[in-house]
Structure 1
Amino acid sequence: MNNFSYIKAASVQAAIDQSTAGFNVKYIAGGTNLIDLMKYNLTRADTLVDVNRVQENKDIIEMENGGLRLSAFATNAQTAYNPLIERRYPLLSRAILAGASAQIRNMATNGGNLLQRTRCYYFYDANVPCNKREPGSGCAAIAGYNRIMAILGTSESCIAVFPSDMCIALAALEAIVNVEGPEGSRSIPFADFHRLPGDTPHLDNNIGQDEIITSIDLPAKGFSKNYSYLKLRDRNSYAFALVSVASGLDLDGDVIREARIALGGVAHKPWRVEEAEDFLRGKPANQSNFRQAAEMILKGATGYRHNEFKIELAKRAIVRNCMMALNPATQLPGAQPSV
């Protein structure tokens, strides 16, 4: 690890001022991803600006539109176990608790969760080419061992996946990301925050160099009655998703008024297909319709030898998760799945 300066900022503006005043400055809160990247020499910083002392929007705020504003500086654990989140946005709580380990959730912040980088084997191996790490060098994963890699939204430059669980729920909930920077503040719809690889896979999101995430807004609709988060992985703890699904349903009896379905572990960003959600509107909530929606969501999916199984796995996961959303009690330990 290289030498760096360390500065504590007491406010968002102080952090921005420190970032713009120096060269190669990075913000740090929990550090659960950034420190790993620095240890592997995958990123360097001349200065780290610690934002843990920032108090703006530190607590969850109820907004006039009926939604909630989450602090970007709160930890994942604080958010998941907050009574307002558990009651009004249980989908988000379940997704957060499916991620990482209790120790990491106690350190990792909401803002950092959005900014974490891929866990691609080849990205972390400096001895092989990786366009995310060194643009133009190539993608070793395409012809390599790619079992955990993407099947949707890929390009010739990159087939890495975005690893977050929390963000899959935020995508389904249509959250808004609020950021501040030298040019002021702005709000980014969650669907526009992360990027597909295209020919610039080294750019993971649309946040500016000196901008900092300050908060995340949740709309009033939290799908608190019919929701489910399903994470399929190689082992049941501390593993990234092969496929994950966040589902929220608004029902009138057994008829779907609105559906939200977001996938993780399959693309460079949380994956939603609004055409499939529109298809479900006004239809009975049953396996047949969920299967048709799953086919639409996975349309165009491409496997790369070792990960071809993900295509059918994702379809089955969507159906199973939507059926579980009809009765969230099926998600409790020991409960039997609906399909």
Structure 2
Amino acid sequence: MSDSSWIAVDAMGGDEGLSVMLAGVARARRRFEGMKFLLVGDEAAIRDGLKNHPNLSSNAEIVHAPDIVGSSETAGRALRRAKTTSMGIAIDCVKQGRAGAAVSSGNTGALMAMAKLALRTMPGIDRPALAALLPSLGANDAVMLDLGANTECDARNLMQFAVMGAAYARTMLDLESPRVALLNIGSEDQKGTEEIRDAAQGLRAATHLPLRFTGFIEGNQLSRGDVDVIVCDGFSGNIALKTAEGTARFVADLLKRAFTSSVRSKIGFLISRPATELLRDHLDPNNHNGAVFLGLNGLVVKSHGGANELGVATAIGAAAKMVQADLARRIATDLGNFEKQTS
């Protein structure tokens, strides 16, 4: 059993460096009482960085790691160095039961490979999936998976993703029976690949699960709030995610350009500033940061490489909530019930 009061943080991962990671941890400590942190990385550098966060020292321990995983390093090379890198040692803290979850802003491919090798997949799971929260017009964010861990998936993979995604939505969004849909090129039953159609048939047949399968959803409906969990293969999911992020940045840049184009538009900005600030906060990826690899015997959360202090704290907070809700046990229970209905 993992110690649920501790989160292992890869302090050396991410584009912004150690200072932002420590600032994010310090912010998370203030938001989540009782959480403690294993700060994994160069001991001397971390100890020096903690001078800027004196209140964090009493809630943190340093775990020395002599090496780091490079942002462009291949997964194979990273695996060979797992025992000496901050990323690999953070994951090992989960494996050894020293921490309830690991958080890293480092190389996604390396993190996935290390996590899968160290923690292994749950019984019956063929492939883990990368899941994250997306902003929507609904009362809650929406869960989307897979976001890049698996470029090709069969019907069984998609059905397992649906079950795991629903358990994640119940934990993170406090939903009793999440609405689940498969991403497709149309809403009609005959649309899509054979794998997607077979997955839909299997989910419709599994009626005794804590989820509501609503059918198919198209790409232009992802943010409408009509569903709580969006299921797809990692190839489609990663493209959809990057497109949504790019569109959000485009809208924000377009508004900025429009509001600075003339004196009249600048006055209009001042009048509408409360609304534009709300829009900016809603679209800010740092407010939705923290993707998790579902289907492993342990929790590993991927923070965006370019996350700022707020983003790092958000990812750590997501990890803490998953640990406290015992997400892994929920997933194992739901998958067991699903297998009984489909066997």
Q: Structure 1-normalised TM-score?
A: 0.29
Structure number having the greater helix percentage = 2
Higher RCO by CA contacts (8 Å cutoff, separation 6 or greater): 2
Q: Structure 2-normalised TM-score?
A: 0.28
